[in-house]
A = this chain, B = another copy of it.
Amino acid sequence: MHRFFLPEHSLQGNRVIFPVLQARQIVRVLRLGVGDCVVVLFDNGMEYEVVLDEVNRSRVQGVVRAQRYASGEPMVELALFVSLTQREKFEWILQKCTEAGVSLFCPYVSSRSLTQETSAVEAKYVRWNHILREAAEQSGRGRVPRLRPPLRFAQALHEVRNSNGLALIFWEGEGGISLRAMLADVPFCGKVSLFIGPEGGFSEEEIRQAQAFGLYPVSLGRRILRMETAALAASVLVLYELEDREGQSSGGGAAGP
């Protein structure tokens, strides 16, 4: 079923009035008609099944026939701290890691980041938010992941220290334990922050700095992954471990957030 994130004011009582852009897509691209069903989302974790009852070039409307927690929306809030890099690679990370279940993207700049300018990227935020929304619709999420303005590495560490969750930094050097060993001892954890290094990796100094801020260095395994591969693999594995654990302890299923 096609999914659409809409602004909250599109819902009036149990009627949904589609904004012009989505109305045009429904009529001209998807060619849906009266009686067809779509899923509408208001970025609050819920999904609304809507039957279209008016479909024409000037107006598309429908009525809510069911609402439920969007089961694709993870219980674990996963924040991904990822270095600024080439546009194409960064956009790929936004798209794929949204599918994987990341809730918050926090770009940063560290000593070895390919892109050192934090101000240059702000013009891209409209485009990037569009990528996030589309990926969230396509993958069955109930919320659009948020995208923070880029931070310097040290600022990002401050941010994480204040966030009260589990914080991991992926590092293939000495002193890291495996992700599996790390997560084996963690009880259900509602908030996890992951730091993925830039193409040139973190410096040892940066790892020491991260440890001083309470982050745990962990290893992703025996192979060296590119930055973008590591971002997706780490997101997938952390949610595989923790989402399921939550499912087991609560009896599974899509309970409210």
Task: Give the B-binding residues of A (Cβ under 8 A).
Answer: 71-72, 74, 96, 99-101, 138-141, 178, 180, 221-226, 229, 232-233, 236-237, 239-240, 243-244
- Assess A140 versus B222: contact at CB under 8 Å? Given A232-B233, A236-B236: yes
Residues of B contacting A138 with CB < 8 Å? 224, 226
Contact between B243 and A240 (Cβ–Cβ < 8 Å)? Answer: no
A168 CB to closest chain B CB (Å) equals 15
Contact between B139 and A224 (Cβ–Cβ < 8 Å)? Answer: yes
Contact between A223 and B180 (Cβ–Cβ < 8 Å)? Answer: no
Which of B141, B224, B232, B243 contacts A232, CB < 8 Å?
Answer: B232
Copies assembled: 2
Q: How far, in angstroms, from A74 to B236 measured CA to CA in the complex?
A: 19
Contact between A224 and B100 (Cβ–Cβ < 8 Å)? Answer: no
Residues of B contacting A101 with CB < 8 Å? 223
Identify the interface centre among A139, A233, A237: most chain B CB within 10 Å of its CB: A233
5 intermolecular pairs with C-beta atoms under 8 Å apart: A72-B224, A138-B224, A139-B223, A229-B232, A233-B236
With A99-B223, A180-B240, A221-B239 known, 4 other A-B pairs at CB within 8 A are: A72-B224, A100-B225, A140-B223, A232-B233
Which single residue of chain B is at the shortest CB-CB distance from A138?
B224
Residues of B contacting A178 with CB < 8 Å? 244
Identify the interface centre among A96, A223, A243: most chain B CB within 10 Å of its CB: A223
Identify the interface centre among A139, A178, A221, A222: most chain B CB within 10 Å of its CB: A222
